[in-house]
Each structure stands twice: as C-alpha cells, then as structure tokens.
Chain A
Amino acid sequence: SQQGEEDPQALSIQEGENATMNCSYKTSINNLQWYRQNSGRGLVHLILIRSNEREKHSGRLRVTLDTSKKSSSLLITASRAADTASYFCATSNNNDMRFGAGTRLTVKP
C-alpha cells in the first residue's frame, strides 16, 4: 500500500524539547506531505517534500525524506504547548493522496 504509517502512535514531551515523528511507506511516491490536525478540526498543511529532495525546513519544522528507505521524519524543535495535535504524513504518486494513521503529540507546559 502506498499510504504512510507514522510512528510513534503517541508522543508526550515537555515544552522546549524536540519532537521527532517518523513515517514509512511501501511504494514509490512523487511527494510526501505533513499535516497537522487539532482535535476535531480540519487538517493544516505543514510542509511538502518532493521525491528528489532530501530535506526541507520551515520555521521550527524540519522534514527529511529517504526514498531508499521509504521513510520520512518530521522534527519540531523547541516545542510549545500549542504544538499539541495529531500529525499525519500523506504520500502521493500519480493516483491519489493517502494519509497515515497519525502521531498524537502532547507537549506539556
């Protein structure tokens, strides 16, 4: 299946610490995206990384992509309580975009 699978399923850290979430997938992709979802709300796009890219940054976010391992990671540095949310990776090839089950991140103040 193309769709990503995140790990861990849940992550709890203290404010100020870094949070790393991983995503693995099984088939070739054109790009991989990370989204954030606050409880009961819609998804917010965070960052898109194309298959020919290895790393992208956006503010406190750093995303890596290793196509040989079919994996990606999302690093949130200097976490804040407001970062508490679920984070999903979504993979795309020529067909459609598929989401993983998400990592539930809790940042304790």
Chain B
Amino acid sequence: EPEVTQTPSHQVTQMGQEVILRCVPISNHLYFYWYRQILGQKVEFLVSFYNNEISEKSEIFDDQFSVERPDGSNFTLKIRSTKLEDSAMYFCASSEWDREGEQYFGPGTRLTVT
C-alpha cells in the first residue's frame, strides 16, 4: 500500500540554524500539507500546497517557514532560523483530491532545537 515517507526521523539542530524536513507524498496525490505537534499538545495545521503554490497557511507559518516541491516527488519544509519553540514532531500529509478529503500522514520528523 502506498504511504507517505519522511526523512529524517529525528533531527537535532542548534538554535539559529536552518533545517529542511523532507517528505515524499503518495505519488498520485495532488495536495500536500505540513502539520506540527508539540510534545503532548494538539496537532496544528501549518500549510497546504497545491499546484506548486501555497493554498492556505496558518498563523504559525510565518516568514521563518517555507515549503517547496523541488521535483516531482519531494515536498520540503524549511525553517530558516530555528528557535527552541520549534521543537516538535512535524508531520507531512497528502491527499488525492482536496484538503477536505482523507489525508494520509507520514510517520513524522522529530525536530529538537537545542
């Protein structure tokens, strides 16, 4: 069964450094998303992406964040200058139709900012 994959599974970085989290969505899916979950808290929507552009973003997704689909398979989330409070699990998801349909989630990347 096709699945969303994410790399790395765990990323440790120092405050102020840039990180890129990578995702490979399911191949025939058209909509892509990033979410984050701070330890013990709820899953929070960051951004949705369709047709090579951002379709929606939350208030969390400020200028420090960017997303890119550099090729036909990868979908990346970049944090330019990490802060301690960026430490969280970051989940990528994709859906076949639109953002209101079933979303398939990857296993997540645990980001630790020290």
Contact = CB atoms under 8 A, between A and B. Distances in A.
Interface string A61-95: 00000000000000000000000000010101001
A44 to B, nearest CB: 7
B36 to A, nearest CB: 11
Contacts of A11: none
A99 B100 contact: no
Interface string A88-109: 1010100111111110000000
A99 B102 contact: no
B91 A48 contact: no
B42 A102 contact: yes
Contacts of A60: none
Name the residue among A40, A42, A101, A102 with the largest chain B CB count within 10 angstroms: A42
A92 B100 contact: yes
Given A42-B91, A43-B43, A88-B42, A97 B105 contact: no
Given A45-B105, A101-B41, 18 more contacts: A3-B42, A33-B103, A37-B43, A41-B107, A42-B91, A42-B106, A42-B107, A43-B43, A43-B91, A45-B103, A48-B101, A88-B43, A92-B100, A96-B45, A96-B56, A96-B58, A97-B33, A99-B44
Interface of A: 3, 30-31, 33, 35, 37, 40-45, 48, 88, 90, 92, 95-102
30 contacts: A30-B100, A31-B100, A33-B102, A33-B103, A35-B105, A37-B43, A40-B89, A41-B108, A42-B4, A42-B91, A42-B105, A42-B107, A42-B108, A43-B43, A43-B93, A43-B105, A44-B105, A45-B103, A45-B104, A90-B43, A96-B45, A96-B48, A96-B56, A96-B58, A97-B33, A97-B103, A99-B35, A99-B42, A100-B42, A102-B42
